[in-house]
Structure 1
Amino acid sequence: MSDEHLRHLQAIAEAALLAAGKPLSLDQLRDLFPDDERPARQVMEHVMVQLSAACEGRGFELREVASGYRLQIREAYAPWVGRLFEDKPQRYSRALLETLALIAYRQPITRGEIEDIRGVTVSSNIIRTLLEREWVRVVGHRDVPGRPAMYATTRQFLDYFNLKGLDQLPPLSEIRDLEEIGREIEKNMQAEIEFETPDDARDDADSQTLH
Structure 2
Amino acid sequence: MSAPDPIVRAVEAVLFAATEPMTADAIRTHLEGVEVRAALATLQADYAGRGIELVRRGERWHFQTAPDMAHLLRRTHEEPRKLSRAGIETLAIIAYHEPTTRAEIEAIRGVGISKGTLDVLMEAGWIRPAGRREVPGRPLLYATTPEFLAHFGLASRRDLPGIDDLRAAGLLDPVDLAFERLDSEAEVEVSDEDD
Query: What is the TM-score with the length of structure 2 in the denominator?
Result: 0.72
Match of 1:16 in 2: 14
Q: CA deviation at 1:141?
A: 1.8
Q: Contact (CA 8 Å) 2:106, 2:112: kept in 1 or not?
A: yes
Q: Which runs of 5+ in 1 are unaligned?
A: 182-209
RMSD: 2.9
- Cα distance in 2 for partners of 1:173, 1:150 equals 28
Q: CA deviation at 1:111?
A: 1.4
Q: CA deviation at 1:159?
A: 4.2
- Cα distance in 2 for partners of 1:69, 1:173 equals 31
Structure 2 residue 24 is the aligned partner of structure 1 residue 32: no
Higher relative contact order by CA 8 Å / sep ≥ 6: 1 or 2? 1
Q: Contact (CA 8 Å) 1:66, 1:159: kept in 2 or not?
A: no
Q: CA deviation at 1:86?
A: 4.7
Structure 2 residue 162 is the aligned partner of structure 1 residue 167: no
- May I ask how many residue pairs the two structures share in their alignment? 170
Structure 2 residue 107 is the aligned partner of structure 1 residue 116: yes
CA deviation profile, 1:92-114 (whole Å, cap 9, x unmatched): 33322221110110123221221
Equivalent residue of 2:81, what SS? coil
Q: CA deviation at 1:60?
A: 1.8
Match of 1:61 in 2: 53
TM-aligned CA distance change 1:67 to 1:86, over 3 Å: farther
Equivalent residue of 2:131, what SS? strand
Match of 2:183 in 1: none
Q: Which runs of 5+ in 2 are unaligned?
A: 173-177, 179-195
Match of 2:132 in 1: 140
Structure 2 residue 64 is the aligned partner of structure 1 residue 72: yes
- Cα distance in 1 for partners of 2:113, 2:134 equals 18
- Cα distance in 2 for partners of 1:172, 1:78 equals 30
Which is greater in Rg?
2
Q: Contact (CA 8 Å) 2:129, 2:140: kept in 1 or not?
A: no
TM-aligned CA distance change 1:140 to 1:13, over 3 Å: same
Q: Contact (CA 8 Å) 1:108, 1:151: kept in 2 or not?
A: yes
CA deviation profile, 1:55-104 (whole Å, cap 9, x unmatched): 12211211112461001011122212214x75233233332222111011
- Cα distance in 2 for partners of 1:66, 1:117 equals 28
- Cα distance in 2 for partners of 1:167, 1:107 equals 12
- Cα distance in 2 for partners of 1:91, 1:50 equals 39
Q: Which amino acid in structure 2 is aligned with residue 138 of structure 1? A: A
Q: Contact (CA 8 Å) 1:138, 1:149: kept in 2 or not?
A: yes
- Cα distance in 2 for partners of 1:79, 1:97 equals 24
Structure 2 residue 87 is the aligned partner of structure 1 residue 92: no
